[in-house]
Structure 1
Amino acid sequence: MRTATIRAAVLGAALAIAPQAAVAGEAGAGAAPNAGRHAFRDLFRELVETDTSVATGSCTVLAGKIAARFRTAGFGEDQITPFRDPAFPLDGGVVVTVPGTSAKAKPMLLLGHIDVVNARREDWVRDPYRFIEEGGYFYGRGTADMKVLDAIWIDTLIRLKAEGFKPKRTIKLALTCGEESGARMNGAKWLADNRPDLIAAAFALNEGGGGATDGHGRVLSQSMQTGEKANRNFEVQATNPGGHSSVPVDDNAIYELADALARVRAQKFPVHFNDTTRTYFAKVGAARGDALGAAMARLAADPADHAAEAAVAADRTLNSMLRTTCVATLLEGGHAANALPQRAKANINCRIVPGEDGDTTRAALVAAIGDARATVTPVGRVRPLAVPPPLDPRILGPAEKLAARYYPGVPLVPAMMTGATDATYLGPLGIPTYGVPGPLADPDGNGLHGLNERHSVQSAYIARDFLHDLVKAYAAQE
């Protein structure tokens, strides 16, 4: 996901074009130049400073604040539908509908989760639930995943209303809880199961796409997500009768588990291209003009090129796009400091490429461990397998046209997300779901799911204008 041939001038050109477009659009709506940006920043701040983690926060509180913003902007009560499962009062969400003028045009759906990964203040340099602008970045939990896109979706609908825009398609916005943890409920799943009418659409726009930078200000690529990996967890467990620690034996559950985990670490799943990833590696590789780019292009042409595979796999992001990956994420063992362990277990989180599934992945883990005493058991919530959306020119065409204006010289390519999103719950409803381009990520991942999460200030503003125009283009289709 990194191309090195785009010059620094590309970003400068993008930054020059986007603000002009924003000012023109806002002035046309009767607003002072940049007033829309100030309103967007305040909205983004409120989203980030409202804690929506499963440990200490409430999505329901934030959903209420969002609904209030829409009411203030002049949306009617019939357009705003708060929802929640009574069993989970903290996990509410909201659906907002902008009716279209055409009986022929089918609705479009904007999807976003408003919950965030847990964050501990003592681990962060800054308070994770304060919105801090520093060094060209907005800091705070959720700034990258995915409250920047939530803010853009909300801002876009309010902005379109202020402009007096009448969409042909009905535009639906669903902001849900539980994507990050699902410990209590998943709002997208709840809507799919209980209120599919609220989200029924011809297609949906979601997280998962976006742009990549070199970490020094150069935009390298923009992607439209047209596929994603499946998320599966497996528990590897070793058991033993145990005994007194003063009389140790080699047959030890912790040692047995450690040996199993070492074999899991060494396990490398084969390269598994699909149409999206093959296209991505070929086009982005050709655009780079460096040794890694050449290796990407060679590997796309010949997946059996082991030298190219080794070069590409050295980049952790590219490696994860090539194959199924499994990694240990949780560990537990023993029951007393003076006793031999009777049980030791670990969670293995696997991200599975399309074309493989939980059964094939479990079988590969069992074979890699090669120890019949160690059990490998599927655990946790099982999402449906993602349904890759078609490479529809009515979706990709407008995105390519606008990307060329906002990010000149930067290739827009289909891409597979290495994580999993709530798009998995829309596939069974027949709603093809695309991860939108726009927001940028640095090579280090911007602290996503980790410490000191951040998002580029300029990227947020440019993506705001780009996605406003993209939603408007889709909404004008018939």
Structure 2
Amino acid sequence: MSRPDVHQLFNELETEWKEIEEEAVEILRKLIQMDTQNIGEDTNETIAAKHLKGLFESAGIECSDVLEEKPGRGNLVARIRGDGSSGLGAVMLSAHLDTVRAPKLDWKAEGWKHDPFGAVIDQEDGCLYGRGAVDMKNMAAMSVSVFLFIKRHGIMLARDLLFVAVADEEAHGSKYGAKYLVEKHPDLIEADIIMTEVGGCSTYADGKEFFPVEIAEKTSVLVTITANGSGGHSSLFHPDNPIGRIGAVCNALSTKMLRHRVTPAARSMLEGISKLLPWYKAPVFRNLLSPKLEPWIIDYLLTKKQAQAIIPVLHNIANPTVVHAGDQQNQIPSSASVTVDVRRIPGCSLDDTLDDLREVIGKEKFLPSVDSTGEKVAPELVLEVMFPMEGVVQDAEEPKVKEALECLHKVVYARSGGSPVIPFLLSGGTDMKFFVKHPTKKPVCLGFSPVRIPQGIEFPSLFHAVNERIPVDGYKWGLGVLCEVVFELCKAHR
């Protein structure tokens, strides 16, 4: 539908829209006050899912039962049925209801300005404080509010609109949430387009605002590297001390970057940013795509924060996270190991990723050898792969992806006064990796949970952080953007 028609809908309901903005703030506050910390098997997302179910049912919106793979790990699916005139599959909004840990009693000692579960609006900075404010109960509250607005005011849609609230995104494996729905209830969540985290938030390059939208993401692969040795008494010299070998592994992975790799999503992101910059700065970002120039640019032309953001986009990342070695102070252990969290670029095979890892550490260390007597010697290091998962690969130039991005850009550009949408590769992971594996329909998945952030607040650093917060005005702005995007995609009419 054309933009004038969408604006006409908003103009006709201007007073009602102000009411839904205030209600959306209260819905978010209520969700933040619910403790859904994902810190063990006893996490309780069901309390939030039941609350949202009550809101939907009170408004007469079609809603599933609370779906649980395990008691307490609740998921919910709501639907507004379209008239089918578009001939297109559903648009789906999704948000996870769980959060990372936050202190409940000693929050001041841990540096929080306000109670993480108090949902306080700070009068000084205009931000709503609380765990889940941006990750990602804000998207849940916005989605519910869009549904309520559509239902209350008789707005018709040309295709179905879904909202899916999921459990268990913050744990490795995420078996009780999106993965469970895709495997056990795929019929409830079949959609052409899915919008979830991370993206749609204000970001700035050289003072110019843009809105990144995730179209691809890395995945985590856990690798264990083990060194073996003869062990023995610590009063003797042990050149095969496995702790020393594992120390060398940790040092190599902590000081050397893995091989430079360019994906379509990375190219779109860097070329998009370069278009925002003055002519004399633009080549810096474009030339990051060159494996020969990138190291020099990172060392001499980028700030530390810029480098931290760019390196994961162009490299597989491997960080040592857990080391296991001896348990007695006067004994050399016979083995030592390190767990490495490897974040793999989508489209890069597992074998190629492991080759990158071995290349930095030293390929010869993983190969058997022959000693001076002709006897075979076991490899110095042994590598074992645990929990390999696939990332998300989408190209911004794919017709369906491009069409969805153009819709987001049109709305954001108009409502922001000229700021563009730029597709990007996420260095972390989201539920998107499960949604793209839907057994009957491959959806376009976009990280888009819009919020406008003023310069001075480093929005990405608020995720999982002390003093997680969201600007109330920016949240209301994002609510309007999300609603208009839904109207555009679903060809809303009355």
TM-score w.r.t. length of structure 2? 0.82
Q: 2:478, 2:15 → 1: CA distance?
A: 22
> Once superposed, what is the RMSD of the aligned Cα atoms?
3.0
- CA 1:321–1:183: 2 relative to 1, 3 Å: closer
* Equivalent in 246, 261, 276 of residue 250 of structure 2: 261
TM-score w.r.t. length of structure 1? 0.85
* Equivalent in 11, 16, 20 of residue 36 of structure 1: 20
- CA 1:213–1:29: 2 relative to 1, 3 Å: closer
- CA 1:298–1:151: 2 relative to 1, 3 Å: same
Contact 1:215 1:443 in 2 (8 A): no
Shift of 1:199: 0.7
Q: Deviations over 1:89-134 (max 9, x none)?
A: 1212101111111162321221221112223455342433332323
* Equivalent in 465, 474, 477 of residue 489 of structure 2: 474
* Equivalent in 386, 394, 409 of residue 392 of structure 2: 386
What SS does the aligned partner of 1:383 have? coil
In structure 2, stretches of 5+ residues that fail to align are 1-5, 367-379
* Equivalent in 88, 93, 99 of residue 116 of structure 1: 99
1:154 equivalent in structure 2:
144
Q: Deviations over 1:325-376 (max 9, x none)?
A: 2222333332234433344333222222223132211222123222332222
Q: 1:359, 1:440 → 2: CA distance?
A: 40
Q: 2:149, 2:60 → 1: CA distance?
A: 11
Q: Aligned runs of 1:66-465 on 2, under 5 Å?
A: 66-76=52-62, 79-85=63-69, 88-102=70-84, 104-121=87-104, 122=106, 123-125=110-112, 126-134=114-122, 135-182=125-172, 185-214=175-204, 220-247=209-236, 249-289=238-278, 293-300=282-289, 302-306=290-294, 307-308=296-297, 310=299, 311-312=301-302, 314=304, 315=306, 316-370=308-362, 371-372=365-366, 373-380=380-387, 382-388=388-394, 390-392=398-400, 393-429=402-438, 430-436=442-448, 438-440=450-452, 442-443=457-458, 445-465=460-480
Contact 2:214 2:426 in 1 (8 A): yes
- CA 1:432–1:142: 2 relative to 1, 3 Å: same
Shift of 1:222: 0.8
Shift of 1:35: 2.6
Contact 1:81 1:96 in 2 (8 A): no
What SS does the aligned partner of 1:278 have? helix
Q: May I ask how many residue pairs the two structures share in their alignment? A: 450
Q: Deviations over 1:430-470 (max 9, x none)?
A: 12211126225644623312333222322211111111110
Q: 2:211, 2:399 → 1: CA distance?
A: 16
What SS does the aligned partner of 2:320 have? strand
Q: 1:286, 1:219 → 2: CA distance?
A: 11
Which of the two has higher C-alpha Rg?
Answer: 2
- CA 1:23–1:259: 2 relative to 1, 3 Å: farther
What SS does the aligned partner of 1:211 have? coil
Contact 2:132 2:468 in 1 (8 A): yes
